[in-house]
Amino acid sequence: MQPAIVVKDLYFRYEEGDYVLKGVNLTVQEGEVVALMGSNGAGKTTLIKHFNGLLKPVKGSVKVKGLDTKERSVAELSKIVGLVFQNPDHQLFAETVEEELAFALRNFGYPEEVVRQRVEWALTLMDLRKYRSRSPLSLSGGERKRVAIASVLCYDPEIIVFDEPTIGQDYYQKQKIAQLLKMLSKQGKTVIVVTHDVEFVAENFNRVAVMANGQIIADGDVEEVLTDPKVIKEADLRPPQITECAWLLGDLGVPKRIVRVEELVEEVARLGGLSEDKGF
Amino acid sequence: MRIRVFEGFKFKRKDTYFYKLDPRVKLLFLAYSLFLTLYFSTFLPLLLLFLLSLVLVLLNRALKEWWGTLRMVFVLSAIIFLLNFFFSERGNKVNYASAMTLRFLTLTSFFSLFFLTTPPEELSDALVLLGIPYEYTFMFMMAMRFIPTLARDLQTIIDAQRSRGLELERGGIFKRVKRLIPLLVPLIVLEIRRSVVVAEALEARAFGASKRRTLTEEYGLRRAEYCFLAWTTILTVALIVLSRLPQTASIFGYRLPEIP
């Protein structure tokens, strides 16, 4: 099967200045859900802007479903790769939420009939039906974020890239976003999520790639990457709290590779000789 | 699509002569040079002024940034040239049009030199020292301060809308203008939101609580500044007086050879 995204030895720099990306290699298979982490300035946003051709490689190549991004226009690639930007205020402009969602669909030249159906679908999906005729600019921060997400999901791209979807979202909305990711994954979409939220990654992802200084320094299972002290240090991350607990309990014999609450509970229960039949 | 127009107006500190001058002195120099540029309307003196600005830029090692600004106004210069060439009523059209274009470039060059070597805070301080109420200088400083922020926002907006299939390069002029709406609406809304936040933050820090403000930086004129003032003043006066003297009038009235 053809991979969704293949980044090969990618170097990039803005007009003047040093390289921001220095030899990035990344392959994302179709249907995979990947978290992309790293401290500010590590090059995450620069990397995802290559996925729909907003930025073109200076050296190396980026292939999206076999298409070289150097040879395709942003409009062409955006049909395949939906990019949800961090700040919804950078894109909301229409008079109503409905119009906002229809914008991309009309740009891609879908017939009005399809536009209406897709908008309806996306409104329902993101729980926005009651705001359909409101101005997106009059909505609250969290709602605007949902409109921004819906405005990309509505044209049903095969690959969806989120830049910091959980920023400024309360616990409930974060759970909703986690659910959305699961749903997209079930539909067979390829999903890439840029985030700083290490707990969010630990709870909702299997694969994580970590960037530092314009390179991918680790890529693999969440259990492995987020519990590797070397990676944590190099990327200036903080391990998930559960992992930190596990490390502190290391002397008691708790293994170090733990990222989820249930796993730690199980281990602690095992240590204490507790099991379910003892009411644990 | 990258935006670079404002690069030339961004401040970067360097350790050269102009950067260390008192901002008031630099402001006066800017006034002198603008006056001279607008006073002369023939090619030769404007060329001299342009070269003077270029020499100063070179001495202050700001050539790269300066070139960035100048490069951006070339299209505008070409338009100025063509408009003057086709619509001016004066005698030698090439002569007049090139002088006007050079005047525009010289103005840009002096402005660029000033903004490249003066941080916005110092400019605002200079205006306060010259007696302009703080509220106004502050407003001006904020406006300057937000130019790069605005450019960055616009870039992100362009990226976001292109990601939603907006094609900026295609179509006729009306379609292009219509496509500006998805760019301008978010930009305006974003900046209004930002300004409200900034205003609140300012009031939270007691902006305007006292009528008289003191400056954190102390400004005093050193010998180097008096020297600078002296030579720029002498130069300005000399150039004007020279241009008024009948015997040199032919030099300063220099014109490009007429096209038959």
Residue-wise pLDDT tens digits, A123-134: 998 889 999 999
The verdict on a CB contact (< 8 Å) between B189 and A15 is no
Spell out which residues of chain A touch residue B163, defining contact as CB-CB under 8 Å.
52, 54, 74, 78, 82-83, 85, 152
Residue of B nearest to A78 (CA): B163
Question: Which of A93, A110, A147 should we substitute to test contact with B (largest number of B Cβ atoms within 10 Å)?
Answer: A93
Spell out which residues of chain A touch residue B156, defining contact as CB-CB under 8 Å.
85, 87, 90
Average pLDDT over residues A62-73: 93
- Residue A93 has its nearest CB partner, among B153, B159, B186, at B186
pLDDT at B130: 86
Q: Angle B43-59/B93-117 helices, nearest 10 degrees? A: 20
> Cα(B205)–Cα(B208) distance, rounded to whole angstroms?
9
Question: Which of A54, A90, A154 should we substitute to test contact with B (largest number of B Cβ atoms within 10 Å)?
Answer: A90
- Which of A48, A187, A22, A144 lies closest to B163, judged by CA? A48
Angle A212-A217-A220 (CA atoms, 0-180°, nearest 5)? 130
Question: Which of B163, B178, B180 should we substitute to test contact with A (largest number of A Cβ atoms within 10 Å)?
Answer: B163
Spell out which residues of chain A touch residue B186, defining contact as CB-CB under 8 Å.
89-93
- Which of A156, A185, A182 lies closest to A28, judged by CA? A185
Q: Which amino acid is at B83?
A: L
B17 neighbors B60 (Cβ within 8 angstroms): yes
Q: Name the pLDDT band for B253 (thresholds 50, 70, 90).
A: low
Q: First vs last Cα of chain B: how many Å apart? A: 44
- Which of B144, B113, B101 lies closest to B21, judged by CA? B113
Q: Tell me: pLDDT of A182 over 90.
A: yes
Assembly ipTM:
0.88
How far is the alpha carbon of A75 from chain B, nearest alpha carbon, in Å?
Answer: 5
How far is the alpha carbon of B190 from chain A, nearest alpha carbon, in Å?
Answer: 6
Q: How many CA atoms lie within 13 A of A187 on its CB side?
A: 15
Please give the sequence-ordered ranges of beta strands (E in DSSP) within B43-195, or none if there are none. none
How far is the alpha carbon of A92 from chain B, nearest alpha carbon, in Å?
Answer: 6
Tokens of A66: 């076999």
How far is the alpha carbon of B30 from chain A, nearest alpha carbon, in Å?
Answer: 29
Q: Residue B141: count other Cβ atoms within 10 Å of its Cβ.
A: 19
Residue-wise pLDDT tens digits, B96-138: 888 889 999 999 999 998 988 888 778 888 888 888 888 888 8
Tokens of B113: 């030199």
B8 neighbors B112 (Cβ within 8 angstroms): yes
The verdict on a CB contact (< 8 Å) between B182 and A108 is no
- The more confidently predicted of residues B173 and A132 is A132
Separation of CA B198 from chain center: 25
Residue-wise pLDDT tens digits, B26-49: 999 999 999 999 988 888 889 989
Residue of A nearest to B159 (CA): A54
Region class of B143: left (phi > 0), else alpha (psi between -120 and 50), else beta: alpha
Residue of B nearest to A157 (CA): B164
How far is the alpha carbon of A110 from chain B, nearest alpha carbon, in Å?
Answer: 12
pLDDT above 90 as % of chain B:
27
Q: Tell me: pLDDT of A18 over 70.
A: yes
Residue-wise pLDDT tens digits, A234-253: 988 889 999 998 999 888 88
- The most confident of A83-87, A266-270, B211-215, by mean pLDDT: A83-87
Residue-wise pLDDT tens digits, B2-14: 555 555 555 667 7
Tokens of B226: 């008096």
Q: Name the pLDDT band for B257 (thresholds 50, 70, 90).
A: very low
> Cα(A224)–Cα(A256) distance, rounded to whole angstroms?
10
Spell out which residues of chain A touch residue B157, defining contact as CB-CB under 8 Å.
90-91
Q: Which amino acid is at A263?
A: E
- Cβ contacts of residue A1 below 8 Å, gap of 6+? A29, A30
